[in-house]
Structure 1
Amino acid sequence: MLNLIWAFVVGIVVGLIARWIMPGAHGMGLIMTGVLGIVGSLVGGFIANLFTDSKNKPFHPAGILMSILGAILILWVAQLLHR
């Protein structure tokens, strides 16, 4: 249970950083920002796994940077679909 809470807190931080970097109004609250960060972490981890071999490591070397880049990618796609 504590792992889920920790993932959501990190997701909020990642989502806030991605929203701060990406220009424009996003119209989402704190919960959706946390979901954005968590999904961004999944997307960033998937992209990093395409280029590295870290399947047996407990922590991915890309870490928070790829999580932020994944969240920015999701925001960008959402802006394209919203137009």
Structure 2
Amino acid sequence: MGIISWIVLGLIAGAIAKFIMPGNDPGGFFVTIIIGIVGAVIGGFIATQLGLGGLDGFSWHSLIVAILGSLVLLVGYRMIKRA
């Protein structure tokens, strides 16, 4: 999948990550969406490098990778901002 696809998927993943991990995040909903985009791109890159299947086109696999990347980045962001 191209970088634009990961960005669009990141918008969705960021919203889902905010739904899964609700809370009063520093920066609010829009920062969570940006974290979703960055998390999706990072998750897609790592999954591709690890050989976890071809991430060509939209699939449940790519959505899960994007959500997991977003959640990991959201947890890290919360830990840094609250410290």
- TM-score, structure 1 as length reference: 0.66
2:53 is equivalent to residue 29 of structure 1 = no
Task: Return closer, same or farther for 1:25/1:50 CA change in 2, 3 Å cut-off.
Answer: same
2:16 is equivalent to residue 17 of structure 1 = yes
TM-superposition CA deviations, 1:23-54 (whole Å, max 9, x none)? 43214233x33322211111111221232165
Task: Give the gaps of 5 or more residues in structure 1.
Answer: none
**The 10-residue stretch of structure 1 (71-80 or 20-29) with the greater mean CA deviation from structure 2:** 20-29
Number of aligned residue pairs: give it.
Answer: 78
Q: Given that residues 9 and 40 in structure 2 are in contact (C-alpha distance below 8 angstroms), is that contact kept between their aligned partners in structure 1?
A: no
User: Over alpha carbons, which structure has the higher Rg?
Assistant: 1
Q: Which runs of 4+ in 1 moved over 4 A?
A: 6-9
Q: Percent identity?
A: 31
